[in-house]
Each structure stands twice: as C-alpha cells, then as structure tokens.
Amino acid sequence: MLHTEIRGQGDQTLVFIPGLGGTTRYWRSRLGHLNDRHRVVLVDLLGFGQSPKPWTRYSVERHVSELHQVLEPLAPVSLVGHSLGALLTVAYAARYPDQVKSIILLGMPYFGSQRNAYNYFRRGPIWGGFLFTNIVLTTVTCIMTRRLFGRILPYLLRRHVSREVAEDLVLHTWRSSTSSLWEVVYRYDTAHDLQNLPARIVVLLIHGDQDVMAPVTKVKALAANHADWRLRVLPNVDHHPFLRRPGICRTLFEQSLAQSGSKPGSSNAFRQIVD
C-alpha cells in the first residue's frame, strides 16, 4: 500500500500527487486553509518517498493500479498532480472517470512523442539536458546523487527548492526513477486520454511561463482545442507553481472545486478568475 496521509474533513476530497522525486512533503507546509475546508490526501507514488520500492516496471498502468487501491475508497475525488504526477492524474481520470470530479495539472510535461521529448532535452534550453535521454547516464546520475550528494543536496539546491523538498529528492531507487521517467513522461500519450475524458470532469492547467522542464507552448496547444478547459499561466514562475505561488494556486484549487460541485455550464465565476 502506498504511503498516504489524510488531513482535515469536508465534503470534497482533494488528492495531491507529486512529480518525479517528490513526496508528501512537497505539498504539506503550503496547504494553508485547504486542510480546514476539505479532506486532503497526500500520497507518495510507488517507488518514491515512504512508499514501497519494488524491482518492477514502473509503467503508467502499475502506478495507476497502486493509486487505485488508495483512492477507490475515498471516491469521488479531485486530483492535483505536479509534473509526472500530472500525467498520472490524467491517466487515472481516464481509467476511473466515475471516481473523479476534477483534475488540476501543474507543470504538466507534454511533448507528443518520445522522439520529440528527446529532441527537446538534447537541443532545448536545459543545460546538460542530454542526460535525461540516456538511460545509462541517467542511472549513474541518480546513483551518484543519492549516495554521494544526498546529504548536501539541500545546500546545493537551497536557491531552487525548500529544504524538505530537496531532502526527499533522494528517497527513491535508480530503477523507480528511470523507469518512471521513460514509461510515464516519454512513452505515455496523455493527449489521447485527455481527449477521451468525460466533459463533466473539470480540467484546470496551471503552468509557469519560465518552465523549461515542461514547455508551456505544448500545453497551450493542448488547451486551445478544449473550450471548457482553463489554463492559467503564472508570470516569472518555473516548473514549480505550487512552491513559487502557493496562495494563487490554492485560490485556483478552490475555484476548480467550486466548479466541479456546480451544475454543468455554470462556470462563469471560475472563468473570471482563471482567464
């Protein structure tokens, strides 16, 4: 069973799914009033944080299956996913639509294909991005980070992420990290699942305009064909909207929950805040 923390009470259940290397502590200190108004569920993905780390293929189906064991008894839920967690959020909603009221996708990476992802990381704005496209180099980097730099990682990354987030970046194995990256980010077609979501599921995308890990242009292209979706691009924000602008994100979460609990078509108040 995945490591899970349940906080607060309320009529609506809000589930937070972290990205690659993220844990429950990615969200915990920034939840604010959400704990008071809703039932908040924090989950560590299989292979990360305090969850089990088996030697297995960390495919989309395996991740979703493990999440289903935790979330089915709590349904219906609204899902908040960051980065790789955003992709798994879409996959879960597509496979269990009756259990999901809304999905909120932060910094969702979308490239269209594995080839496009490789081209972006090898030729794009990320220094050393080619490391992300070579499984051997990625494995070596993962092992070195955990075994050699794990204790000093919070100091190396103190300008980028908080201490608790940096500390938990080593709570995985090279197998869970590399397999999840290739199976979920590179090989999974999230556009297909998004296209087939029921219209009643509210979709909100939150993205930073300075996100180099997940280019916003791709997300804008996805959203352009769906009038009912809402995309909020936050200025001067990188791949971590919730870490940089937690107050704005919480407000958008609340508005998404309000829309998911209203009658179909009654989204004017939400549109005014998001657009």
Which one, of 34, 32, 28, lies nearest residue 50 by Cα?
A: 28
**What are 129's two structure tokens?**
């991005």
Q: Residue 188: pLDDT above 90?
A: yes
Token look-up 């804008």 returns 220
User: Is residue 173 assigned to a domain?
Assistant: no
Task: For residue 20, count other CB atoms closer than 10 A to its CB.
Answer: 23
Domain count along the chain: 1
pLDDT higher than threshold 70 for residue 148: no
pTM, full prediction:
0.91
Per-residue pLDDT, averaged over 189-209, amounts to 96
User: Is residue 170 domain-resident?
Assistant: no
Q: Note whether residue 193 is domain-resident.
A: yes
Which helix (H) or strand (E) segment holds residue 206: the answer is strand 202-208
Bridging pattern class, strands 4-7 and 39-43: antiparallel
User: What's residue 150's pLDDT?
Assistant: 61
The pLDDT of 192-214, averaged and rounded, is 96
Kindly state the percentage of the chain with pLDDT values over 70.
90
pLDDT of residue 252: 98
For range 108-112, the mean pLDDT: 95
Gap between the Cα atoms of 260 and 129, Å rounded: 38
Examine the pLDDT at 138 and tell me if it is beyond 90.
no
Q: Does residue 71 sit within a domain?
A: yes
Residue 267 placed within a domain:
yes
Considering only CA atoms, which of 104, 123, 43 is closest in space to residue 270?
A: 104
Question: Quick check: is 221 in a domain?
Answer: yes
User: In this structure, are residues 109 and 81 in contact, taking their beta carbons and an 8 Å threshold?
Assistant: no
What is the pLDDT of the chain when averaged over all its residues? 90
CATH of the domain at 269: 3.40.50.1820
Q: Which domain holds residue 80?
A: 4-112+188-274
Domain-embedded: residue 160: no
pLDDT (0 to 100) of residue 91: 98
User: Mind listing the pLDDT tens digit for each residue in 27-85?
Assistant: 999 999 999 999 999 999 999 999 999 999 999 999 999 999 999 999 999 999 999 99
In a domain, 254, yes or no: yes
Q: What is the pLDDT of residues 162-182, one digit of tens each?
A: 888 888 888 999 999 999 999
